[in-house]
Structure 1
Amino acid sequence: MNGKYVLALILTLQVSLSLCDVAAPDQELVDKYEALKATFYKRLLNAYNNMQARAAPYVEKVGDNTHGQAAKDYIEQLQANPHVQGAVKIITGVAGEATPLVDKARTSALGAYGQYVRPYVGNYLSDAIDHIKTVLDKVMPAEEH
Protein backbone atom coordinates (compact mmCIF):
# COMPACT_ATOMS: atom_id res chain seq x y z
CA MET A 1 0.00 0.00 0.00
CA ASN A 2 2.83 2.42 0.80
CA GLY A 3 4.37 1.72 -2.59
CA LYS A 4 1.25 3.07 -4.28
CA TYR A 5 1.44 6.28 -2.25
CA VAL A 6 5.12 6.73 -3.10
CA LEU A 7 4.43 6.17 -6.80
CA ALA A 8 1.50 8.63 -6.72
CA LEU A 9 3.68 11.20 -4.93
CA ILE A 10 6.49 10.83 -7.46
CA LEU A 11 4.09 11.18 -10.39
CA THR A 12 2.45 14.22 -8.79
CA LEU A 13 5.82 15.89 -8.25
CA GLN A 14 6.87 15.18 -11.84
CA VAL A 15 3.67 16.68 -13.19
CA SER A 16 3.93 19.75 -10.97
CA LEU A 17 7.57 20.30 -11.92
CA SER A 18 6.86 19.88 -15.61
CA LEU A 19 4.09 22.47 -15.35
CA CYS A 20 6.51 24.96 -13.77
CA ASP A 21 8.73 24.93 -16.86
CA VAL A 22 6.25 26.48 -19.26
CA ALA A 23 7.79 28.09 -22.30
CA ALA A 24 7.28 31.78 -22.95
CA PRO A 25 4.42 32.49 -25.36
CA ASP A 26 5.06 33.58 -28.92
CA GLN A 27 5.04 37.35 -29.44
CA GLU A 28 2.34 36.91 -32.09
CA LEU A 29 0.10 35.15 -29.55
CA VAL A 30 0.71 37.85 -26.93
CA ASP A 31 -0.06 40.60 -29.47
CA LYS A 32 -3.26 38.82 -30.52
CA TYR A 33 -4.31 38.41 -26.87
CA GLU A 34 -3.60 42.08 -26.08
CA ALA A 35 -5.57 43.21 -29.15
CA LEU A 36 -8.55 41.04 -28.18
CA LYS A 37 -8.39 42.29 -24.59
CA ALA A 38 -8.25 45.94 -25.70
CA THR A 39 -11.21 45.43 -28.04
CA PHE A 40 -13.18 43.73 -25.27
CA TYR A 41 -12.55 46.65 -22.89
CA LYS A 42 -13.62 49.09 -25.61
CA ARG A 43 -16.83 47.12 -26.07
CA LEU A 44 -17.53 47.21 -22.32
CA LEU A 45 -16.78 50.93 -22.08
CA ASN A 46 -18.97 51.72 -25.09
CA ALA A 47 -21.83 49.61 -23.68
CA TYR A 48 -21.48 51.36 -20.30
CA ASN A 49 -21.53 54.79 -21.94
CA ASN A 50 -24.62 53.87 -23.98
CA MET A 51 -26.38 52.53 -20.91
CA GLN A 52 -25.46 55.62 -18.92
CA ALA A 53 -26.74 57.91 -21.67
CA ARG A 54 -30.03 56.03 -21.84
CA ALA A 55 -30.47 56.00 -18.06
CA ALA A 56 -29.60 59.67 -17.48
CA PRO A 57 -33.17 61.02 -17.88
CA TYR A 58 -34.52 58.42 -15.47
CA VAL A 59 -31.79 59.12 -12.92
CA GLU A 60 -32.59 62.82 -13.00
CA LYS A 61 -36.26 62.05 -12.33
CA VAL A 62 -35.34 59.82 -9.38
CA GLY A 63 -33.42 62.66 -7.77
CA ASP A 64 -36.60 64.75 -7.66
CA ASN A 65 -38.54 62.51 -5.27
CA THR A 66 -37.79 61.93 -1.59
CA HIS A 67 -36.60 58.32 -1.92
CA GLY A 68 -34.08 59.31 -4.57
CA GLN A 69 -32.78 62.15 -2.41
CA ALA A 70 -32.45 59.81 0.58
CA ALA A 71 -30.44 57.34 -1.51
CA LYS A 72 -28.23 60.17 -2.77
CA ASP A 73 -27.58 61.38 0.78
CA TYR A 74 -26.76 57.85 1.96
CA ILE A 75 -24.22 57.37 -0.85
CA GLU A 76 -22.59 60.71 0.00
CA GLN A 77 -22.37 59.67 3.67
CA LEU A 78 -20.75 56.38 2.68
CA GLN A 79 -18.18 58.16 0.55
CA ALA A 80 -17.29 60.45 3.45
CA ASN A 81 -17.03 57.57 5.94
CA PRO A 82 -13.35 56.98 6.93
CA HIS A 83 -13.92 53.21 7.17
CA VAL A 84 -15.08 53.06 3.56
CA GLN A 85 -12.16 55.23 2.45
CA GLY A 86 -9.76 52.91 4.29
CA ALA A 87 -11.32 49.86 2.68
CA VAL A 88 -10.96 51.45 -0.75
CA LYS A 89 -7.28 52.17 -0.06
CA ILE A 90 -6.70 48.58 1.08
CA ILE A 91 -8.43 47.13 -1.97
CA THR A 92 -6.46 49.44 -4.26
CA GLY A 93 -3.19 48.41 -2.60
CA VAL A 94 -3.98 44.71 -2.85
CA ALA A 95 -4.88 45.13 -6.51
CA GLY A 96 -1.59 46.92 -7.12
CA GLU A 97 0.36 44.15 -5.40
CA ALA A 98 -1.51 41.41 -7.27
CA THR A 99 -0.90 42.89 -10.72
CA PRO A 100 2.56 41.30 -11.22
CA LEU A 101 1.22 37.93 -10.09
CA VAL A 102 -1.69 38.16 -12.51
CA ASP A 103 0.69 39.12 -15.35
CA LYS A 104 2.94 36.15 -14.55
CA ALA A 105 -0.04 33.78 -14.41
CA ARG A 106 -1.37 35.17 -17.70
CA THR A 107 2.02 34.74 -19.37
CA SER A 108 2.28 31.17 -18.07
CA ALA A 109 -1.24 30.37 -19.25
CA LEU A 110 -0.52 31.81 -22.71
CA GLY A 111 2.74 29.83 -22.83
CA ALA A 112 0.98 26.60 -21.87
CA TYR A 113 -1.77 27.28 -24.40
CA GLY A 114 0.76 28.04 -27.14
CA GLN A 115 2.83 24.96 -26.39
CA TYR A 116 0.20 22.31 -25.63
CA VAL A 117 -3.23 23.38 -26.87
CA ARG A 118 -2.78 25.77 -29.80
CA PRO A 119 -1.38 23.20 -32.25
CA TYR A 120 -4.59 21.17 -31.89
CA VAL A 121 -7.37 23.75 -31.46
CA GLY A 122 -5.79 27.04 -32.53
CA ASN A 123 -7.50 27.27 -35.93
CA TYR A 124 -10.90 26.28 -34.55
CA LEU A 125 -10.62 28.78 -31.70
CA SER A 126 -9.53 31.54 -34.07
CA ASP A 127 -12.50 30.84 -36.34
CA ALA A 128 -14.85 30.82 -33.34
CA ILE A 129 -13.45 34.14 -32.09
CA ASP A 130 -13.90 35.68 -35.56
CA HIS A 131 -17.51 34.47 -35.64
CA ILE A 132 -18.18 35.83 -32.15
CA LYS A 133 -16.64 39.17 -33.17
CA THR A 134 -19.11 39.56 -36.03
CA VAL A 135 -22.01 38.93 -33.65
CA LEU A 136 -20.59 41.30 -31.02
CA ASP A 137 -20.08 44.02 -33.64
CA LYS A 138 -23.84 44.02 -34.14
CA VAL A 139 -24.86 43.65 -30.49
CA MET A 140 -22.11 45.46 -28.58
CA PRO A 141 -19.84 47.40 -30.97
CA ALA A 142 -16.39 48.51 -29.88
CA GLU A 143 -16.70 51.91 -31.55
CA GLU A 144 -19.54 54.42 -31.36
CA HIS A 145 -21.49 54.65 -34.63
Structure 2
Amino acid sequence: MNAKYALALILALQVSMSMCEIPAPSQELVEKYDQMKSVFYQRLLTAYGKLQAAAAPYVETVGDSERGQKAKDFIEELQTKPEFQAAVKVASGLASETGPLVDQARTAALGLYEHYLRPHVGDYLSRGIDHIKTHLDVYLPTQ
Protein backbone atom coordinates (compact mmCIF):
# COMPACT_ATOMS: atom_id res chain seq x y z
CA MET A 1 0.00 0.00 0.00
CA ASN A 2 2.86 2.37 0.80
CA ALA A 3 4.32 1.74 -2.66
CA LYS A 4 1.10 3.03 -4.23
CA TYR A 5 1.29 6.22 -2.16
CA ALA A 6 4.95 6.67 -3.04
CA LEU A 7 4.22 6.20 -6.75
CA ALA A 8 1.31 8.64 -6.58
CA LEU A 9 3.52 11.18 -4.79
CA ILE A 10 6.29 10.81 -7.38
CA LEU A 11 3.83 11.24 -10.25
CA ALA A 12 2.26 14.27 -8.59
CA LEU A 13 5.67 15.84 -8.10
CA GLN A 14 6.61 15.20 -11.71
CA VAL A 15 3.41 16.81 -12.92
CA SER A 16 3.86 19.81 -10.64
CA MET A 17 7.47 20.25 -11.74
CA SER A 18 6.54 20.06 -15.41
CA MET A 19 3.88 22.69 -14.84
CA CYS A 20 6.49 25.06 -13.40
CA GLU A 21 8.27 25.26 -16.74
CA ILE A 22 5.99 27.58 -18.65
CA PRO A 23 6.89 27.82 -22.33
CA ALA A 24 7.42 31.28 -23.79
CA PRO A 25 5.00 32.36 -26.52
CA SER A 26 6.26 32.86 -30.06
CA GLN A 27 6.81 36.38 -31.36
CA GLU A 28 4.07 35.86 -33.96
CA LEU A 29 1.48 35.11 -31.26
CA VAL A 30 2.57 38.08 -29.14
CA GLU A 31 2.32 40.42 -32.14
CA LYS A 32 -1.11 39.04 -33.04
CA TYR A 33 -2.29 39.51 -29.45
CA ASP A 34 -0.90 43.05 -29.25
CA GLN A 35 -2.56 43.98 -32.54
CA MET A 36 -5.94 42.63 -31.42
CA LYS A 37 -5.60 44.39 -28.08
CA SER A 38 -4.77 47.74 -29.69
CA VAL A 39 -7.71 47.44 -32.11
CA PHE A 40 -10.04 46.61 -29.22
CA TYR A 41 -8.80 49.59 -27.19
CA GLN A 42 -9.28 51.79 -30.25
CA ARG A 43 -12.86 50.54 -30.51
CA LEU A 44 -13.45 51.36 -26.84
CA LEU A 45 -11.96 54.84 -27.22
CA THR A 46 -14.11 55.53 -30.26
CA ALA A 47 -17.23 54.38 -28.41
CA TYR A 48 -16.29 56.53 -25.41
CA GLY A 49 -15.80 59.56 -27.68
CA LYS A 50 -19.21 59.03 -29.27
CA LEU A 51 -20.83 58.58 -25.86
CA GLN A 52 -19.14 61.70 -24.56
CA ALA A 53 -20.25 63.70 -27.60
CA ALA A 54 -23.82 62.48 -27.18
CA ALA A 55 -23.86 63.27 -23.45
CA ALA A 56 -22.17 66.70 -23.72
CA PRO A 57 -25.41 68.72 -24.12
CA TYR A 58 -26.93 67.03 -21.07
CA VAL A 59 -23.80 67.47 -18.97
CA GLU A 60 -23.67 71.18 -19.75
CA THR A 61 -27.22 71.69 -18.48
CA VAL A 62 -26.74 69.66 -15.29
CA GLY A 63 -25.55 72.70 -13.33
CA ASP A 64 -28.77 74.57 -14.14
CA SER A 65 -30.96 72.46 -11.87
CA GLU A 66 -30.75 72.44 -8.08
CA ARG A 67 -29.98 68.71 -7.87
CA GLY A 68 -27.33 68.98 -10.55
CA GLN A 69 -25.66 71.87 -8.75
CA LYS A 70 -25.66 69.90 -5.48
CA ALA A 71 -24.08 66.91 -7.21
CA LYS A 72 -21.46 69.13 -8.83
CA ASP A 73 -20.65 70.76 -5.47
CA PHE A 74 -20.39 67.35 -3.80
CA ILE A 75 -17.95 66.08 -6.42
CA GLU A 76 -15.81 69.21 -6.17
CA GLU A 77 -15.80 68.95 -2.37
CA LEU A 78 -14.91 65.26 -2.53
CA GLN A 79 -11.91 65.97 -4.75
CA THR A 80 -10.48 68.39 -2.19
CA LYS A 81 -10.64 65.93 0.73
CA PRO A 82 -7.29 64.45 1.75
CA GLU A 83 -8.84 60.99 2.21
CA PHE A 84 -9.94 60.93 -1.41
CA GLN A 85 -6.54 62.13 -2.60
CA ALA A 86 -4.84 59.43 -0.51
CA ALA A 87 -7.12 56.77 -1.98
CA VAL A 88 -6.27 57.98 -5.50
CA LYS A 89 -2.54 57.84 -4.70
CA VAL A 90 -2.85 54.31 -3.32
CA ALA A 91 -4.84 53.15 -6.33
CA SER A 92 -2.37 54.67 -8.79
CA GLY A 93 0.53 53.13 -6.85
CA LEU A 94 -1.11 49.72 -6.93
CA ALA A 95 -1.72 50.06 -10.65
CA SER A 96 1.93 50.90 -11.31
CA GLU A 97 3.13 48.03 -9.09
CA THR A 98 0.85 45.42 -10.63
CA GLY A 99 1.74 46.35 -14.22
CA PRO A 100 4.77 44.04 -14.45
CA LEU A 101 2.86 41.22 -12.74
CA VAL A 102 0.06 41.52 -15.27
CA ASP A 103 2.58 41.41 -18.11
CA GLN A 104 4.19 38.28 -16.69
CA ALA A 105 0.78 36.62 -16.24
CA ARG A 106 -0.22 37.56 -19.79
CA THR A 107 3.03 36.13 -21.19
CA ALA A 108 2.57 32.94 -19.19
CA ALA A 109 -1.04 32.59 -20.34
CA LEU A 110 -0.05 33.13 -23.98
CA GLY A 111 2.72 30.55 -23.61
CA LEU A 112 0.37 28.00 -22.07
CA TYR A 113 -2.25 28.69 -24.73
CA GLU A 114 0.24 28.29 -27.56
CA HIS A 115 1.82 25.14 -26.19
CA TYR A 116 -1.24 23.26 -24.95
CA LEU A 117 -4.41 24.70 -26.54
CA ARG A 118 -3.54 26.32 -29.87
CA PRO A 119 -2.96 23.03 -31.72
CA HIS A 120 -6.46 21.90 -30.73
CA VAL A 121 -8.62 25.05 -30.70
CA GLY A 122 -6.54 27.62 -32.61
CA ASP A 123 -8.49 27.39 -35.88
CA TYR A 124 -11.87 27.51 -34.15
CA LEU A 125 -10.83 30.47 -32.03
CA SER A 126 -9.44 32.34 -35.04
CA ARG A 127 -12.64 31.82 -37.00
CA GLY A 128 -14.71 32.86 -33.99
CA ILE A 129 -12.70 36.05 -33.55
CA ASP A 130 -13.06 36.85 -37.25
CA HIS A 131 -16.81 36.32 -36.98
CA ILE A 132 -17.03 38.59 -33.94
CA LYS A 133 -14.97 41.25 -35.73
CA THR A 134 -17.61 41.51 -38.46
CA HIS A 135 -20.22 42.34 -35.84
CA LEU A 136 -17.91 44.73 -34.01
CA ASP A 137 -17.20 46.56 -37.27
CA VAL A 138 -20.94 47.26 -37.52
CA TYR A 139 -21.78 48.10 -33.91
CA LEU A 140 -18.44 49.24 -32.45
CA PRO A 141 -16.23 50.52 -35.30
CA THR A 142 -12.64 51.60 -34.81
CA GLN A 143 -13.28 55.08 -36.27
TM-score (structure 1 length as normaliser): 0.90
- Which structure 1 residue ranges, 5 or more long, are not aligned? none
CA distance in 1, matches of 2:3, 2:72: 67
CA distance in 1, matches of 2:2, 2:102: 38
Aligned to 1:116: 116
How far the C-alpha of 1:2 sits from its partner, in A, is 7.3
How far the C-alpha of 1:58 sits from its partner, in A, is 1.2
- Cα root mean square deviation, aligned: 1.8
Aligned to 1:129: 129
- Which structure 2 residue ranges, 5 or more long, are not aligned? none
CA distance in 2, matches of 1:136, 1:31: 21
- Judged with a 3 Å threshold, the aligned counterparts in structure 2 of structure 1 residues 22 and 67 are, in CA distance, closer, same or farther, namely same
* % same residue: 61
What letter corresponds to residue 141 of structure 1 in structure 2? P
- Judged with a 3 Å threshold, the aligned counterparts in structure 2 of structure 1 residues 2 and 78 are, in CA distance, closer, same or farther, namely farther
How far the C-alpha of 1:67 sits from its partner, in A, is 0.3
The answer to whether residue 11 in structure 2 is matched with residue 17 in structure 1 is no
CA distance in 2, matches of 1:89, 1:36: 31
How far the C-alpha of 1:53 sits from its partner, in A, is 0.6
The answer to whether residue 43 in structure 2 is matched with residue 33 in structure 1 is no
Stretch of structure 1 that moved more, 96-105 or 7-16: 7-16
Equivalent position SS for 1:63: helix
Aligned to 1:70: 70
CA distance in 2, matches of 1:90, 1:57: 34
How far the C-alpha of 1:95 sits from its partner, in A, is 1.1
TM-score (structure 2 length as normaliser): 0.91
Aligned to 1:49: 49
**Alignment coverage as a number of residue pairs:** 143
- Judged with a 3 Å threshold, the aligned counterparts in structure 2 of structure 1 residues 76 and 119 are, in CA distance, closer, same or farther, namely same
